[in-house]
């Protein structure tokens, strides 16, 4: 258990650095008018999650999931985990649950952020 926590912490640090560097690279190439850096990280991280989750299972490297999937990809973008959970629900034939998961996650997260901004502006204005 403790070694998995160390793997997740180390992988998360690596993933966060990779997200930051990728974001800087995209900003330098494309500019900053549209959140292209975040879109790039989310799509790339989701692609890598799909690729690596299958490769790990096929090759017997599931023991590295805390380091690679949860740690590195989780630090790179949590959107990859969101994408994996959505596809897993769809593959299980739970299409309505997948739709609900997507809608609740996206709308709920945006509303929660807006509420946090509203509260912070009211309290610390």
Phi-psi region of 93 (alpha: psi -120 to 50; beta: other; left: phi over 0): left
Q: Is 22 part of any known ligand binding site?
A: no
Q: How far is CA 76 from CA 7, 48, 68, 92, in A?
A: 15, 11, 10, 27
Residues in CB range of 101: below 8 A, 6 or more apart? 85, 86, 89
- What is the spatial distance between Cα 72 and Cα 8, in angstroms, rounded to a whole number? 8
Q: Is 33 part of any known ligand binding site?
A: no
Residue 106 CB neighbours (<10 A):
11
Residues tagged in the binding site annotation for Na(+)? 74, 77
Residues tagged in the binding site annotation? 74, 77
């Amino acid at each position: 258990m403790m070694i998995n926590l160390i793997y997740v912490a180390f992988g998360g640090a690596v993933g966060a650095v990779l997200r930051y560097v990728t974001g800087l690279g995209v900003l330098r190439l494309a500019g900053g008018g549209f959140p292209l850096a975040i879109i790039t990280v989310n799509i790339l991280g989701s692609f890598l999650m799909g690729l690596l989750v299958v490769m790990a299972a096929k090759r017997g490297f599931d023991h590295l999931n805390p380091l690679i999937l949860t740690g590195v990809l989780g630090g790179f973008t949590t959107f990859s985990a969101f994408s994996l959970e959505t596809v897993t629900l769809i593959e299980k034939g739970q299409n309505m649950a997948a739709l609900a998961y997507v809608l609740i996650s996206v709308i709920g997260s945006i509303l929660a952020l807006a509420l946090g901004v509203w509260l912070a502006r009211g309290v610390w204005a």
